[in-house]
Amino acid sequence: MWKQRYPVVLSLLVSSANSQGPLPTGTVVATPLVSKHFSYPTGVPYQADTDIGGRGPQLGYNLCNSSTQNPASLCQTSLFNGLADFCVWGPPESGAVFQDVTGEMVAWCTRSGYGTRLIPDGALTGLQFLKTPDYIQINGFLDQTKVNIYTGELGGQLDPHAVDGRGNPIGGLMFSNIWGGSYTQVIEWITFMGQNMFCIKACNPASPNAAAYCAHQYDRIGCPYNAPSNVQETVFQECDADNAEFPGVYTFAGVVQTYTQPPASLGPITSIPYVPKVPASSNCRTFSSADILGSSASGVAKTTETSPKSTGTGGDSDQGVGVNSALGSQMIFIHTRHYLYVSVVFCWFFI
């Protein structure tokens, strides 16, 4: 087994005021998003979220079709079917601070036909798709400016929970045909976007461990700890894989332990007591980008990056993570709704 040495970067402190202020208290909805179940495509409502209090109404819509597929689509229904067929969440307009618009993200997909925006040709520069017994996962490199995330934005986590139960984005739905061929609503999922990387983890709703594999409480430690993979720049690969450990669960001295993520109020995370393990994989197949992403080239909006602006309906204090492949280093960024920690502590890990 080969070993790779890389530093984990854990610190920096940059002020980032949020124009929205703190979320109103007492705004947890009576029926959370994860309790709303729909069939795709015929049973999807115009909007999954009809609440108007707290963070306000759902920005977009879930009933998406050929009439909504355009560069300004506000479709908030995501599909995740494999290496060449998935959607990421991105801001509806360029220049927004990620944490301010987590509730407003819209779907950007690799394929046409879903009524969404299309990921521009050339945006994706490396992907690894893993199919495990209990979940599917994709990790990737992308030019995030092509999905309206400005250069240098550290991003954060999105999931169907949020502090008010309405999800980030508000009303955002996900479906997959990976389990049996017909579409199934993915109830538990997590995704991280930022620093020109992303990961999406969608847990099989039939699995009794769906909520554990797609745990959403580890939003400060990003893709490496929530969705570990061997993704590489310029490589497009799909594999079968074993389940990873539940996020936050690790074994030390033969004893299974659970990591408790400290609250952001305690400051930056300067150490984590374990190194995440990438699960064993098999039946790996490698493709060229043209083989799998050619369909995203038509009907694509040309995006123009603008300076960040602070607006919108940010929800949780979600955090972002990225991997800097040029330096061969894994970077953990601690990003809250009111400030951004970027501290610098190098720890050399061997895996």
Q: Give the per-residue pLDDT at 260.
A: 96
Q: What is the pLDDT of residue 271?
A: 94
Query: Both tokens of residue 80?
Result: 């995740």
Looking at residue 337, what is its pLDDT?
35
Tokens of 177: 């045909």
Beta carbons within 8 Å of 92's beta carbon, 6+ residues apart: 59, 60, 72, 74, 101, 104, 105, 106, 148
- Residues in a beta bridge with 323: 330
Q: Helix/strand/coil (H, E, C) string of the chain?
A: CCCCEEEEEEEEEEECCCCCCCCCCCCCCCCCHHHCCCCCCCCCCCCCCCCCCCCCCCCCECCCCCCCCCCCCCECEEEEEECCEEEEEECCCCCECHHHCHHHCEEEECCCCCCCEECCCCCEEEEEEEECCCEEEEEEEECHHHHCCCCCCCCEEEECCCCCCCCECCCCEEEECCCCCCCEECCCEEEEEECCEEEEEEECCCCCCHHHHCCCCCCCCHHHHHCCCCCCCCCEEEEEECCCCCCCEEEECCEEEECCCCCHHHCCCCCCCCCCCCCCEEEEEEECHHHHHHHHCCCCCCCCCCCCECCCCCCCCCCCEEEECCCCEEEECEECCCEEEEEEEEEEEEC
Query: What is the pLDDT at residue 308?
Result: 53
As given in the structure block, the two tokens for residue 2 are 């080969």
Q: Residues in the chain, how many?
A: 351
Residue 181's contacts (CB-CB under 8 Å, 6 or more residues apart) are none
Cα-flanking dihedrals φ and ψ of residue 29, to 5°?
A: -75, 155
Answer whether 0.85 is exceeded by the pTM. no
All residue ranges of the chain with pLDDT < 70 are 1-26, 294-351
* 195 Cβ neighbours under 8 A, 6+ residues apart: 144, 153, 154, 155, 320, 321, 322, 323, 324, 331, 333
Q: Tell me the CB-side half-sphere exposure of residue 87, using CA atoms within 13 A.
A: 28
Cβ atoms 261, 220 nearer than 8 A: yes
